[in-house]
Amino acid sequence: MTPGQRHNNMAHIKSVSKPEVLLRSRLFALGLRFRKNYRKLPGSPDIVFPKFKAVVFVNGCFWHGHRHCPKFKVPSTHVAFWRGKFKRNRQRDRANISALLDLGWRVGVVWECSITGSNRNQKLDNIAGEVSLWLEEGLATPYIEW
């Protein structure tokens, strides 16, 4: 891929991911009401449940460096740049999660690989159900990943 082609590909990446939209749709169908990308909280969480004082981040496996995931691979060109970028992204994610926990919010992270691929609809239903149960359980689990 030429640098120009790569630039065009990267320019077409949307800020709201399809997995995020699909998960929000399932959560809404379950009767859960939320705010989107609430900028007053650290990290502008993707989904905020003020009633439950809980937030959910929907992380793309590539951009957030999901280790041991087939969707995450360091590109073969400009390796030093990409490793640094993924490291900074992970550090920022950890700092945002820590700040939210310190403020008394519960934090959930849904990884892209857990709601995409084969049987996507079943995976979405399962994760949406698990998020709903996590919200209802109260403060038993302040941080969780799916």
CATH number at residue 21: 3.40.960.10
Is residue 6 included in any domain, yes or no?
A: no
Is residue 90 included in any domain, yes or no?
A: yes
Amino acid at site 90:
R
- CB proximity list for 5: less than 8 A, separation 6 or greater: none
Based on the structure, what is the number of domains in the chain? 1
Is residue 86 included in any domain, yes or no?
A: yes
Is residue 104 included in any domain, yes or no?
A: yes
pLDDT, tens only, 30-79:
999 999 989 999 999 999 999 999 999 999 888 888 888 888 888 888 99
Scanning the structure block, which residue is given the tokens 């399932």?
Answer: 26
**φ/ψ bin of 29: left (φ > 0), alpha (ψ from -120 to 50), beta (otherwise):** alpha
Is residue 5 included in any domain, yes or no?
A: no
Is residue 9 included in any domain, yes or no?
A: no
The rounded percent of the chain whose pLDDT value lies above 70 is 96
Is residue 4 included in any domain, yes or no?
A: no
Is residue 115 included in any domain, yes or no?
A: yes
Whether pLDDT at 125 is above 70: yes
Mean pLDDT to the nearest integer, 95-114: 94
Domain with 78 in it? 16-145
Higher pLDDT among residues 31 and 141, named by residue: 31
User: Residue 34 class from Cβ within 10 Å (0-12 exposed, 13-18 middle, 19+ buried)?
Assistant: buried
Whether pLDDT at 99 is above 90: yes
